[in-house]
């Protein structure tokens, strides 16, 4: 999948595309269905399949310094969208110029002159332009005037009409329900990052951990999780491992920043500097402070057993 950061960089070969537009945070089942709809129209037109996103997310631009909320930072999002078969991603800067661009100018300057879209596919609640003045009806009208198609895609729902939304997934994760989040995402919630040096306490206890900062990711409920971990090299999986992880501030040692510390059951070797993708499979218990090191080591043993049981009952 090709990635373009500026509309001036898009060559003719990637114009005329069918473009799905949205934030796609999480790339959940609803997002997957919308991109799948765009893929059908791209196949009918023999056109490239494109996805248009904004970096940073508009919410980050309008609320700088706010609480981390992302389900998929940019790197993770590109992996998931590429796996859906997109030929091209237009990752445009959401800055003051973009925020103050009118809905009409967004269509004319970005979609028509910049990307030369053949068709766009958006959700029924799509809003764009300064003050969110543009909606699906405006987009359809301008598409008819400017010669590109506009497909308005209804929300995908689960059983009993349950709406699939990034907000609902965030709520589930913050409540310690990763299984519910995975059901809505269509895949486990995954935290990607590079392994950094920690304080070495896990190794002293006989349980060496791979330590990662959370960066811009949403903070799920702090506690102990059963996890599945992929070791990546050049964005390719080189090995997979079951494990148990502590996500949080470690009440006995009080980390300054939340960490994800994963103990891999069947791995021996050096992970420092490696890039990992850690799937949160099951929430086992909240973080706790113990009377001493021996009590902590005993609990780690219990957590490992609980994680293995949870993983054994969860299909890959």
Tell whether 226 and 140 lie within a shared domain: no
Token pair in block for residue 226: 């059963």
Sign of CA dihedral 96, 97, 98, 100: positive
Q: Residue 184: what pLDDT?
A: 95
Looking at 130, 159, 188, the residue that finishes a domain is 159
Q: Residue 202: what pLDDT?
A: 60
Tell whether 125 and 273 lie within a shared domain: no
Q: Is the peptide bond before 56 cis (omega within 30 degrees of 0)?
A: yes
> Helix 166-174 crosses helix 178-185 at what angle (to 10 degrees)?
160
Tell whether 154 and 8 lie within a shared domain: yes
Tell whether 128 and 32 lie within a shared domain: yes
Residues 6 or more apart whose CB falls under 8 angstroms from that of 60 comprise 66, 94
Tell whether 186 and 149 lie within a shared domain: no
55, β-bridge pairs:
93
Q: Specify the pTM.
A: 0.90
Residues, the chain: 316
Q: Residue 205: what pLDDT?
A: 65
Tell how strand 275-286 and strand 189-194 pair up.
antiparallel
Number of domains in the chain: 2
Strands (E), the chain: 2-4, 18-21, 49-55, 88-93, 119-123, 149-153, 189-194, 210-213, 223-233, 236-248, 259-264, 275-286
Q: Look at residue 169 and tell me if it is in a domain.
A: no
Q: Residue 293: what pLDDT?
A: 81
Looking at 127, 159, 191, the residue that finishes a domain is 159
Q: Tokens 């891999």 belong to which residue?
A: 264
Residue range of the domain that includes 90: 2-159
Q: Residue 300: what pLDDT?
A: 92
Tell whether 112 and 228 lie within a shared domain: no
Tell whether 193 and 257 lie within a shared domain: yes
In this prediction, the residues of the chain whose per-residue pLDDT falls under 50 are none
Tell whether 55 and 141 lie within a shared domain: yes
Q: Look at residue 174 and tell me if it is in a domain.
A: no
Q: Look at residue 166 and tell me if it is in a domain.
A: no
> Residue 27 maps to which CATH number?
3.40.50.620
Tell how strand 119-123 and strand 149-153 pair up.
parallel
Q: Look at residue 164 and tell me if it is in a domain.
A: no
Q: Residue 123: what pLDDT?
A: 94
């Amino acid at each position: 999948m090709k990635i373009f950061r500026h509309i001036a960089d898009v060559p003719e070969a990637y114009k005329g595309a069918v473009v799905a537009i949205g934030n796609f945070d999480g790339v959940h089942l609803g997002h997957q269905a919308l991109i799948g709809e765009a893929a059908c129209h791209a196949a009918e037109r023999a056109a490239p399949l494109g996805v248009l996103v904004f970096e940073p997310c508009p919410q980050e631009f309008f609320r700088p310094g706010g609480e981390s909320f992302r389900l998929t930072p940019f790197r993770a999002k590109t992996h998931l969208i590429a796996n859906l078969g997109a030929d091209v991603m237009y990752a445009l800067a959401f800055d003051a110029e973009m925020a103050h661009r009118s809905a009409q100018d967004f269509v004319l300057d970005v979609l028509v002159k910049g990307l030369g879209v053949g068709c766009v596919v958006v959700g029924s609640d799509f809003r764009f332009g300064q003050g969110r003045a543009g909606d699906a009806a405006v987009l359809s009208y301008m598409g008819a005037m400017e010669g590109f198609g506009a497909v308005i895609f209804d929300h995908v729902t689960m059983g009993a009409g349950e709406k699939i939304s990034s907000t609902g997934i965030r709520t589930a994760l913050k409540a310690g329900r990763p299984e519910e989040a995975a059901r809505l995402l269509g895949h486990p919630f995954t935290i990607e990052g590079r392994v950094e040096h920690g304080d070495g306490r896990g190794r002293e206890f006989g349980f060496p951990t791979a330590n990662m900062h959370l960066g811009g990711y949403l903070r799920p409920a702090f506690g102990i999780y059963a996890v599945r971990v992929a070791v990546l090299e050049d964005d390719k999986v080189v090995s997979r491992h079951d494990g148990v992880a502590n996500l949080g501030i470690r009440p006995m040692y009080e980390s300054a920043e939340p960490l994800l510390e994963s103990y891999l059951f069947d791995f021996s070797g050096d992970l420092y500097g490696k890039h990992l993708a850690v799937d949160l499979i099951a929430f086992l218990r909240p973080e706790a402070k113990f009377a001493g090191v021996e009590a902590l080591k005993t609990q780690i043993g219990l957590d490992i057993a609980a994680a293995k049981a949870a993983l054994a009952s969860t299909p890959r």
